[in-house]
Homo-oligomer: A and B are copies of this chain.
Amino acid sequence: MSKISALPPSGFRDFNPEEASARQNLTDLIGRVYLSHGFQRIGMPVMENLSTLHGKGGGADNEKLIFKVLKRGEELNRALAAGEGAELADMGMRFDLTLPLARYYARFREGLPKPFKVFQVGSVWRADRPQKGRYREFVQCDVDIVGAKEIGAEVDCIQAILEVFQAAGLSGVEVHINDRRLLAALRGSATEAQWAEALVALDKLDKVGIEGVEKELNAKLGAVPDGIRRALGAPEIANFESVHSESTGSIAEIVRLLQAAAPDTKIVFNPSLVRGQDYYTGTIFEVRHPELSGSLGGGGRYNRLLEVFGAAETPAFGGSIGFERLFLLLQEKAAAADTSNPQIFIPLLAAELRAPLLALASELRARGIRVDIFPDAAKLKNQFKYADDRKIPYTLLLGGDELARGEAKVKNMAQRSEETIALEPRTQFLDKMETLCKQ
């Protein structure tokens, strides 16, 4: 057999046990926090019909990044025979979790609770050019409330997201809040097309700074529109009341309630916040962290998106955690205690000891202890190397002699100490091991 490359496709990642465990623990934590707020988990396929993925009014940028799935069998033959311009694919990988949610809601809305509080933790795929820190498969963690129009939805979603950061031990996050209606009201005498260009430029503020935004606007529009000047100025909410009081009232109330719920978190009004997705219709927010360029999460109100799939106008608000960035930040900080590594290692000193050692391992597992027993009666040196490599804290040495004497040698691998413990009474032995493993 010829040798084949052992690498994953470009832009995709393999996760080693440490990473895979830590990622799993983080998604578990996110699920727990979202559930604690009453959000319900739903599940959807990773691929959707292309007609679904092309359905959204906005999001055109993401549509270009769809990984398409080739048609099969007769359908593929027909498409190939049809020649240039024929669609060769029938499905595509989802590029976000919002569009599938919109489809889900349209499909099942009659039977869903009103409002529908929902979350998803899952992978999405984008055919971006691979580069450092940007992957073609990554995890999103969305939380949405469909069918609620007041700011309670905003506060519930954003608070749940903040609690995830808190539960993960990450301090120092900031929440920036704005409203699309306020940005629209800032348009003034600019034409719609000019204003769209202006917002695209403003959206780059993070990357290019104020000067960069002004430069782009001068180049494209010949001047910096007044509304953009105001958005770039002091973020005093009072200055914007005359522009769109409904927005400023709602922003002020959201800030007040979130601040009460998360007193240690900086919650601010940010009139220059745009958020690229064009389906937002009201509140928008972004979570930032001083040690990170770009955002740790964000979202907004999208009261029109669901119409795409035939639902009547339905108010909806949602947010998402940037899982990959959060994971990176947490990895750079002290890693949490590992709750997945085995706690006890049992070497196999001779093949005929399998039965009693397997029985003992089962009893320990029944106490909630993770026990790893070596599968081969290999050289003891190799078995100990294995336990060392896996950093298993305790080794239970049980040879034929020990078993005959009814005792086990318990080695503490970190302290290189050893203690002999009687196997009977069995309850006492198991209690002792349980106590050891909980230390």
Task: List residues of chain A with CB under 8 Å of any chain B CB.
Answer: 1, 3-9, 12-17, 19-21, 23-24, 28, 31, 35-38, 40-49, 51-52, 55, 57, 67-70, 72, 80, 84, 88-91, 93, 103-104, 106-108, 113-115, 117-118, 123, 127, 137, 145, 148-150, 152-153, 155-156, 159, 163, 256-257, 260-261, 307-310, 340, 342, 345, 348, 351, 354-355, 358-359, 362, 365, 368-377, 382, 385-386, 389-390, 392
CB distance from A61 to the nearest CB of B (A): 15
CB-based contact B48/A9 at 8 Å: yes
Closest to A256 in B: B355
CB-based contact A375/B15 at 8 Å: no
Chain A contact residues, majority secondary structure: mixed
Q: Which residues of B contact A40 (CB under 8 A)?
A: 17, 20-21, 340, 390
CB-based contact B55/A41 at 8 Å: no
CB-based contact A376/B149 at 8 Å: yes
Q: Provided the pairs A14-B104, A359-B261 are in contact, do residues A8 and B150 lie with their beta carbons within 8 angstroms?
A: no
Closest to A40 in B: B17
Q: Which residues of B contact A55 (CB under 8 A)?
A: 4
With A38-B370, A40-B340, A113-B389 known, 6 other A-B pairs at CB within 8 A are A4-B55, A4-B308, A6-B106, A69-B93, A70-B70, A115-B375
CB-based contact A372/B261 at 8 Å: no
CA distance A376 to B146 in the complex (A): 12
CA distance A358 to B4 in the complex (A): 57
Q: What number of copies of this chain does the assembly contain?
A: 2
CB distance from A336 to the nearest CB of B (A): 15
Q: Provided the pairs A46-B123, A123-B46 are in contact, do residues A355 and B15 lie with their beta carbons within 8 angstroms?
A: no
Question: Could you list 19 examples of A-B contacts with CB < 8 Å?
Answer: A1-B308, A4-B310, A5-B52, A14-B44, A15-B44, A37-B371, A38-B345, A40-B340, A45-B137, A67-B69, A69-B69, A70-B70, A70-B89, A145-B375, A150-B351, A152-B348, A155-B358, A156-B375, A256-B355
CB distance from A359 to the nearest CB of B (A): 7
Q: Which residues of B contact A52 (CB under 8 A)?
A: 4-5
CB-based contact A386/B261 at 8 Å: no
Q: Which residues of B contact A44 (CB under 8 A)?
A: 8, 14-15
CB-based contact A14/B38 at 8 Å: no
Closest to A368 in B: B36
CB distance from A242 to the nearest CB of B (A): 24
Q: Which residues of B contact A115 (CB under 8 A)?
A: 375-376, 386
Closest to A376 in B: B150
Closest to A18 in B: B40
CB-based contact B358/A257 at 8 Å: yes
Q: Which residues of B contact A91 (CB under 8 A)?
A: 9, 67
CB-based contact A14/B42 at 8 Å: yes
CB-based contact A358/B260 at 8 Å: yes
CA distance A373 to B154 in the complex (A): 12
CB distance from A126 to the nearest CB of B (A): 11
Q: Which residues of B contact A106 (CB under 8 A)?
A: 6
A374's partner among B152, B261, B368 (CB-CB below 8 A) is B152
Q: Provided the pairs A70-B89, A365-B36 are in contact, do residues A14 and B358 lie with their beta carbons within 8 angstroms?
A: no
CB distance from A349 to the nearest CB of B (A): 12
Q: Which residues of B contact A382 (CB under 8 A)?
A: 114
Q: Provided the pairs A4-B308, A382-B114 are in contact, do residues A373 and B38 lie with their beta carbons within 8 angstroms?
A: yes
CB-based contact B355/A16 at 8 Å: no
CB-based contact B9/A72 at 8 Å: no
CB distance from A302 to the nearest CB of B (A): 13
CB-based contact A375/B148 at 8 Å: yes
Q: Which residues of B contact A47 (CB under 8 A)?
A: 9, 12, 67, 137
CB-based contact B14/A41 at 8 Å: no
Q: Which residues of B contact A113 (CB under 8 A)?
A: 386, 389-390
CA distance A50 to B359 in the complex (A): 44
Q: Which residues of B contact A51 (CB under 8 A)?
A: 4-5
Q: Which residues of B contact A41 (CB under 8 A)?
A: 17, 20-21, 24, 340
CA distance A369 to B41 in the complex (A): 17
Q: Which residues of B contact A117 (CB under 8 A)?
A: 372, 375
